[in-house]
């Protein structure tokens, strides 16, 4: 007898890079009996059918979540509150609702209060991505060897958490569980600040005089190029991250600004020893990232 899929019916609300990669994993490993994709634009829905990652498509939230036993909210964070309100009256009793938002406290606050008591919310954040967007950009291997952080809500249903965990294991992820506020602090330093620095550097280069700007592009392989890849990330997604992880980002930004000022002073004073000490420390950190297979 054929094995039962993990979920009978899965609905994706938003199906871009992350949602479509999850749908591809579900297709590959036969984890979903059927998949319905929901997005605003017809071209997104057409792409899902063409790629074979959804059996049905709709722009109607109520229709999308009807009878779904897993609902994945994978749209920009700023849309989550309105989506939670719209789907709430139509959710099947016992359904599991999960999300993939890059910020957890604000997303939980946007979604949880609107859900009925007879469904189970399991917030999650896969630490995987590229600078590309949309359903065509996804691929099933995106999550392999990457962390997925679960931030269960108080009193959350253990069986629902176990099912979402099972999905992420099948996707090849390593699973960690954290409090939402801790998640937001960790991500502020590991992801949000580095992106902010990249956006700033590339913006500064773009503001340079025209002749210098040309040369920055020409000689970009000397370091600038790596920042341009990060700075090419989706503008809406990153706007939402900074608008929704304000406190933690401002705190690490303050620390960073102080450290940058200290470096500025070392350079001005000709204090090569301090510079070398810092660079030796940071080189060792790179080695530990490689050892942790996160390079
Ligand atoms: P994406 O590729 O831009 O996809 C977003 C999807 O949401 C599209 O299908 C879009 O289609 C749909 N959408 C937008 N507004 C909507 C609305 N009001 N109702 C329904 N669907 C809507 O974005 P992504 O990179 O997959 O990111 C999605 C989520 O994953 C974000 O919350 C982000 O924080 C999180 N995340 C992203 C990454 C990353 O590196 N990209 C990593 C981890 C987590 P239409 O435009 O046709 O509506």
- What is the number of the ligand 1 atom nearest to the C-alpha of 126? 43
Ligand 1 center to residue 276 CA distance, Å?
42
Per the structure, the complete domain to which residue 248 belongs is given by 182-291
How confident is residue 2, by pLDDT bands cut at 50, 70 and 90? Answer: low
Same domain, 201 and 167: no
Domain identity same for 166 and 239: no
pLDDT tens for each residue of 64-100: 999 999 999 999 999 999 999 999 999 999 999 999 9
CATH of the domain at 171: 3.40.50.720
Distance 128 CA to ligand 1 centre (A): 13
Are 25 and 121 in a shared domain? yes
13 lines ligand 1 (CB under 6 A): yes
Q: Nearest 5 degrees, angle CA 54-CA 49-CA 76?
A: 65
Same-domain status, 130 and 231? no
Residues 195 and 168 in one domain: no
- How do residues 226-254 score in pLDDT, each as one tens digit? 999 999 999 999 999 999 999 999 999 99
- Confirm or reject: Cβ of 58 under 6 Å from ligand 1: no
- Among the listed residues 45, 50, 38, the one whose alpha carbon sits nearest the alpha carbon of residue 9: 38
Query: What pTM did the predictor assign?
Result: 0.94
Residue 124 CB–ligand 1 contact under 6 Å: no
Whether residue 69 is contained in a domain is answered as yes
Q: What band does 259 get if pLDDT is binned at 50, 70 and 90?
A: very high
Tell me whether residue 1 is in a domain: no
Domain membership flag for residue 2: no
CATH (domain of 257): 1.10.3660.10
Number of compact structural domains in the chain = 2
Residue 173 and residue 101 share a domain: yes
What is the atom index within ligand 1 of the atom nearest the CA of 42?
A: 47
Q: Is 64 a pocket residue for ligand 1 (Cβ < 6 Å)?
A: no
Residue 173 has pLDDT above 90, yes or no: yes
């Amino acid at each position: 007898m054929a094995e039962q899929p993990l979920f009978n019916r899965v609905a994706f609300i938003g199906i871009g890079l992350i949602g479509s990669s999850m749908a591809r994993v579900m297709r590959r490993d036969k984890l979903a009996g059927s998949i319905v994709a929901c997005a605003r634009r017809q071209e997104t829905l057409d792409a899902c059918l063409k790629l074979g990652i959804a059996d049905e498509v709709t722009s109607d939230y109520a229709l999308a979540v009807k009878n779904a036993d897993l609902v994945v909210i994978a749209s920009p964070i700023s849309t989550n509150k309105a989506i939670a309100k719209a789907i709430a009256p139509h959710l099947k009793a016992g359904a599991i609702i999960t999300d993939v938002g890059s910020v957890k406290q604000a997303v939980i606050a946007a979604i949880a209060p609107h859900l009925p008591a007879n469904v189970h919310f399991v917030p999650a954040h896969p630490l995987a991505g590229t600078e590309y967007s949309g359903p065509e950009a996804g691929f099933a291997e995106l999550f392999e060897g990457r962390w997925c952080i679960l931030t269960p809500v108080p009193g959350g249903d253990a069986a629902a958490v176990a099912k979402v965990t099972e999905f992420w294991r099948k996707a090849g992820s390593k699973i960690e569980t954290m409090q939402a506020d801790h998640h937001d602090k960790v991500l502020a330093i590991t992801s949000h600040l580095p992106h902010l620095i990249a956006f700033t550097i590339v913006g500064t280069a773009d503001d340079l005089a025209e002749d210098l700007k040309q040369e920055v592009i020409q000689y970009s392989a000397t370091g600038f190029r790596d920042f341009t890849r990060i700075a090419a990330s989706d503008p809406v997604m990153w706007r939402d991250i900074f608008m929704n992880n304000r406190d933690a980002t401002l705190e690490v930004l303050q620390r960073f600004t102080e450290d940058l000022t200290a470096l500025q002073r070392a350079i001005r004073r000709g204090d090569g020893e301090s510079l070398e000490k810092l660079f030796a420390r940071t080189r060792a950190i790179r080695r530990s990232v490689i050892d942790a297979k996160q390079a």
